[in-house]
Structure 1
């Protein structure tokens, strides 16, 4: 008799255990990581930078922004991230109010571009370094060396944007940091920093949608 009641107890215990497992299982399920995968997107990038101290514009482009976007379910928020690549650009400006000068400017992105599109406005944060080469002042070469560059600066640009699959213009103001390692034979950091660095500069960027989403990117 004791053995019989022991067997019944074991069966009841197993049934209770199975019932607990079956009812608890649904509470442990999580949404798969690929429920909301990023969508590739690519833009052409054309920029115009107004350098306040020089009173001149620097036009760079076309470049590329190759990235992806993720739509947050249940919201109007879209996160767009990507890698920015811009070509070198030749600039012309007048120093000290009368002396013409030219140089090649290379703008390098030091981190991915982070953007948020919400309520019809795109806010993009870019971290850039400015490098100067091939300088001439009044036609005379000024040897800046191979590593004349600024510190990193963060630029926040905003503007109206309909969707991640559209074209739009964003803009913002920023500070050009001091320059370092300027000059092959003498220290030209004070000169370049004094001429170029400072606040009140503007950056205007046109993002032209190339492909992404349902638009194939093979031809781009």
Structure 2
């Protein structure tokens, strides 16, 4: 929620506490300075954060990554993003966990040689970023059709791991530790709903794929995979569909 919303909720309480302090000062002037100097504790809701959850990908727009060098798409099964908005400022921190199942890919290497493999996205820590929450059925929230919405700027970091690779039907033994040497940085900026029911929001991100490392058992295959896959201009397209908001019970709450 925004600072505006927080002030709307807290204003009556602040006025009430002010009246109580004045009454106490009249009864015992010596205690006035102590009461005025005491810090106001942060609301419990601000400490806990606002929970939310999205499905990542749906029937209309599955999570699809375009590998620029190969000119091929990799489609992933539906995943999830579970997060929290921390605090009540206009630009509040956000943290979350991205989970996308593994998938099998097919592409053509060297423009004529078919290749298949298993692709896994391994999170490199939690997703982080900032969010600006708005309220009201007009303005920005009108674009997503809900009374509460949020402008999000979230960075996800994932390693791309390859396994079960076959080229032209023959096994390419990449070993158990074949993945990008550094994590891929995927930044997602979107206006998303924070109230149900809500329509999905389509998001598109562009990212660079780093070089691969640890690939190969009998020989180092990392340079080969780096040459085939790594580079700039890759895209990720998906639908974010709101699943739950708040710590209440399912299906609309994100609590246990």
TM-score by length of 1: 0.81
Deviations 1:173-216 (CA, angstroms, capped at 9, x unpaired): 11000000101111001100000000010112322111122763
Instruction: Note the aligned Cα RMSD (angstroms).
Output: 2.4
What secondary structure is seen at the aligned counterpart in 2 of 1:145?
A: coil
**Structure 2: any 5+ residue segments left out of the alignment?**
1-27, 58-62, 133-139, 141-149
Alpha-carbon offset, residue 33 of structure 1: 4.8
1:15 is aligned to none
**Structure 1: any 5+ residue segments left out of the alignment?**
1-17
Distance in structure 2 (CA, Å) of the matches to 1:216 and 1:205: 27
Higher Cα Rg, which structure: 1
Distance in structure 2 (CA, Å) of the matches to 1:156 and 1:85: 15
Distance in structure 1 (CA, Å) of the matches to 2:211 and 2:240: 28
Distance in structure 2 (CA, Å) of the matches to 1:174 and 1:33: 38
1:101 aligns with 2:123: no
Distance in structure 2 (CA, Å) of the matches to 1:164 and 1:185: 54
Deviations 1:85-108 (CA, angstroms, capped at 9, x unpaired): 111111111000110100100011
Alpha-carbon offset, residue 82 of structure 1: 1.1
1:117 aligns with 2:131: yes
How many matched pairs? 201
Distance in structure 2 (CA, Å) of the matches to 1:63 and 1:35: 28
1:27 is aligned to 37
